[in-house]
Amino acid sequence: MKRQLTPKDRLIVALDVSSEAEARALIEELKDEVGVFKCGLELFTACGTTLFALAKEYGVKLFFDGKFHDIPNTVAHACKAAVRQSVDIFNLHALGGAAMMEAAAKASAEAYGELKASGSLSPAALANPPALIAVTILTSMDAKALQDELKVQLPLAQMVPYLAQMAQRCGLDGVVASAQEAGAIREVCGDDFLIVTPGIRPKWAEANDQSRIVTPGDAIARGADYIVVGRPIVKAKDRKAAARLIVEELAAV
């Protein structure tokens, strides 16, 4: 699954807006500056599957941040639907357990195989099947919240690579995790396992509601494949300039 990525490829911009019009404007403005756009729950709830069509219209890569977490059968069918929508990356919660993740991986492979057999896939899609990745621990959570609120007694620094290993054993392609744990994940999962890191804040941006944050360059240096950036770009006065600053930082790593 290891992909050859340029600095621009590594930058995922979160479409943290609430309407199709706003999403369209962001994609149109930034499609030449970034590698992937992320559709999260806010935008998906507001616009539904029209966002998948919008990505196809502009020819951009899409990360569907649906964070599936349900019984294995339900998640398996959701994964099949995501693959059929031709998303490039999509995810589920590792805390859903091994049975759920195994069912998801199997269903995703079956759906992709059906598309491949139909002859409907583009050369790019044939070269890069959709990546199914697992959310480990949300970057808004810190060690204290994990232990005091969720009663998970395994330390955060151990829990995240543990979940990553479980996801890998279940047939997933990678994980979503803080860059603070990226090095530990690389040690146990190897170089062919994708690591997508949210909680990215350039030195010139505010932390907002993220707890475990790092800078773009530091995330890549620690072993991340992709970084997810939302408000530092979306809320910037000059979005293109903000995106270019981050890509330049990635190129310097």
User: Looking at residue 202, what is its pLDDT?
Assistant: 86
| Domains in the chain, CATH or no CATH each | 7-251 (3.20.20.70)
> What band does 103 get if pLDDT is binned at 50, 70 and 90?
very high
User: Looking at residue 253, what is its pLDDT?
Assistant: 87
| Segment 223-233, tens digit of pLDDT | 999 999 999 99
Active-site residue set: 67
User: Looking at residue 122, what is its pLDDT?
Assistant: 83
User: Looking at residue 2, what is its pLDDT?
Assistant: 56
Q: Is the pLDDT of residue 38 over 60?
A: yes
User: Looking at residue 75, what is its pLDDT?
Assistant: 98
Q: Is the pLDDT of residue 251 over 80?
A: yes
Q: Is the pLDDT of residue 41 over 60?
A: yes
User: Looking at residue 226, what is its pLDDT?
Assistant: 97
DSSP the chain: ------HHHHEEEE---SSHHHHHHHHHHHTTT-SEEEE-HHHHHHHTTHHHHHHHHHT-EEEEEEEE-S-HHHHHHHHHHHHHTT-SEEEEEGGG-HHHHHHHHHHHHHHHHHHHHHT---HHHHHSPPEEEEE-S-TT--HHHHHHTT---S-HHHHHHHHHHHHHHTT--EEE--GGGHHHHHHHH-TTSEEEE--B--TTS--TT-SS-B-HHHHHHTT-SEEEE-HHHHT-SSHHHHHHHHHHHHHT-
| Segment 175-204, tens digit of pLDDT | 999 999 999 999 999 999 999 999 898 876
- Mean pLDDT over all residues of the chain? 93
